[in-house]
């Protein structure tokens, strides 16, 4: 029996989860714990975050100038994201419980997740991504469909018109709402399906319960993730090599604080 299978047999079985009240201090403590885990095992964090960094460069290279290829390659990101996150969660779980950190064990857990609930969450994220892509194009058509279009790669003047500014405002507003809803569905459900034997629907409903019970704290946490991720994108995605694993480890610790 592999080390990964042994670890999975020892995972906590499904049980009614009691939602805890969180404060801003819990966010700070989770971030510190995430940074501590990254420092304790940086090789794992760098490995899983490299998927995003290298994938970002590949997507830009393959999809440069081709909308179809850009969309096709970008679909792999939300599908692979839960598995990369599962690796970070498993590292934090092992550090928390004093278990040995071995590549075979950590990657074994990620590999075993393909037969459990994680692929369903990945599929939900992909469907969500496709829905947002369709909705964004529809909003663009509603506001700009009757406008005289120009090549936006050479001029952004079309976006400085009244319709263009209104379209940008609606896109940002709708995008923020949908992004927070996806965040609410996954912030607890992703670590939950790794830690306990629960189905993905129960995990998402539990995640929504946590967000509803701690709305202000979770709004702050979503903002922290958005700001840090945006800043990490600026130096050619290289900041993601640190930001992603720290946030991944921190999410595990916040999950542990959110559910009893």
Least confident of 10-24, 87-101, 221-235: 10-24
Under 8 Å between Cβ of 166 and 105:
no
Domain membership of residue 50 (yes or no) is yes
Q: State the average pLDDT for the chain.
A: 83
Under 8 Å between Cβ of 217 and 24:
yes
Give the list of residues 6+ apart from residue 222 with CB closer than 8 angstroms, or none.
179, 180, 183, 187
* pLDDT score for 98: 92
* pLDDT score for 110: 86
Least confident of 70-74, 89-93, 170-174, 256-260: 70-74
Q: What is the mean pLDDT of residues 132-160?
A: 71
Q: What is the mean pLDDT of residues 167-194?
A: 91
Question: Residue 25 — pLDDT band, cuts 50, 70, 90?
Answer: very high
Q: Output the CA–CA distances (angstroms, integers) from residue 229 to 149, 167, 245, 247, in the order listed.
A: 32, 24, 11, 9
Q: 26-65 as b/e, with b when 16 or more CB fall inside 10 Å?
A: bbeebbebbbebbeebeebbebbbebbbebbeebeeebee
* pLDDT score for 37: 97
- Residue 172 above 70 pLDDT? yes
Could you tell me the residue range of the domain that residue 133 belongs to?
A: 3-143+157-258
Domain membership of residue 148 (yes or no) is no
HSE-up of residue 258 (Cα within 13 Å, Cβ side): 28
| Confidence (pTM) | 0.82
Q: What is the mean pLDDT of residues 28-41?
A: 97
* pLDDT score for 156: 65
At which residue do the structure tokens 């779980």 appear?
93
- Residue 69 above 80 pLDDT? no
Q: What is the token pair recorded at 7?
A: 């670890």
- Residue 72 above 90 pLDDT? no
Domain membership of residue 135 (yes or no) is yes
* pLDDT score for 71: 57
Percentage of residues of the chain with pLDDT beyond 70: 78
Domain membership of residue 151 (yes or no) is no
- Residue 228 above 70 pLDDT? yes
| Structural domain count of the chain | 1
Domain membership of residue 149 (yes or no) is no
- 196 forms beta bridges with 12
Under 8 Å between Cβ of 246 and 232:
no
Domain membership of residue 150 (yes or no) is no
Least confident of 139-143, 146-150, 210-214: 146-150
HSE-up of residue 74 (Cα within 13 Å, Cβ side): 13
* pLDDT score for 10: 41
């Amino acid at each position: 029996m592999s080390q990964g299978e042994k670890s999975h047999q020892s995972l906590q079985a499904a049980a009614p989860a009691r939602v805890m009240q969180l404060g801003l201090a819990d966010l700070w403590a989770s971030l510190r714990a995430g940074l501590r885990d990254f420092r304790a095992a940086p090789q794992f964090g760098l490995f899983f975050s490299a998927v995003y960094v290298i994938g970002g460069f590949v997507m830009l290279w393959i999809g440069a100038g081709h909308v179809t290829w850009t969309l096709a390659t970008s679909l792999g990101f939300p599908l692979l994201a839960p598995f990369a996150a599962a690796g970070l969660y498993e590292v934090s779980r092992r550090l928390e419980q004093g278990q040995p950190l071995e590549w075979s064990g950590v990657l074994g857990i990620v590999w075993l997740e393909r037969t459990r609930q994680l692929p369903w969450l990945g599929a939900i994220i992909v469907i969500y991504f496709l829905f947002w892509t369709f909705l964004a194009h529809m909003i663009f058509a509603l506001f700009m469909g009757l406008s005289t279009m120009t090549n936006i790669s050479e001029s952004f003047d079309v976006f400085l018109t009244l319709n263009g500014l209104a379209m940008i405002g609606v896109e940002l507003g709708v995008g923020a709402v949908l992004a927070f809803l996806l965040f609410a569905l996954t912030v607890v459900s992703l670590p939950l399906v790794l830690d306990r034997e629960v189905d993905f629907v129960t995990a998402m409903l539990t995640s929504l319960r946590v967000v509803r019970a701690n709305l202000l704290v979770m709004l702050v946490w979503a903002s922290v993730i958005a700001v840090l991720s945006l800043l990490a994108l600026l130096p050619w995605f290289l900041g993601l090599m640190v930001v992603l694993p720290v946030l991944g480890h921190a999410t595990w610790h916040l999950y542990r604080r959110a559910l009893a």
